[in-house]
Amino acid sequence: MHEAARQQGIRCLSDIELCVLETDGSFSFFTRNDGDDKDGAPDRTDKLT
């Protein structure tokens, strides 16, 4: 897994939030975004009328 992460440009395993073993045997990595606490769609601040 460490080699697969390195090949995808991930230098430190602690940067990985989630690793998925795909059906073809490859790994998919989801990395942390330090300083960015937003997940998913942006919050709507305007009122719906």
Q: b/e string for 6-44 if b means 16 or more Cβ within 10 A?
A: eeeebeeeeebeeeeeeeeeeeebebeeeeeeeeeeeee
pLDDT tens readout for residues 1-41: 899 999 999 999 999 999 999 999 999 999 998 655 555 55
Tokens of residue 13, six digits: 């395993």
Host domain of residue 19: 2-31
Q: According to the model, what pLDDT value does residue 27 have?
A: 96
* Residue 37 belongs to a domain: no
The number of distinct structural domains making up the chain is 1
Q: Is pTM, for the whole model, over 0.85?
A: no
Closest Cα partner for 20 from 30, 12, 10, 35? 30
Residue 36 domain flag? no
In a domain, 18, yes or no: yes
Whether residue 21 lies inside any domain: the answer is yes
**pLDDT at residue number 33:** 81
Whether residue 22 is contained in a domain is answered as yes
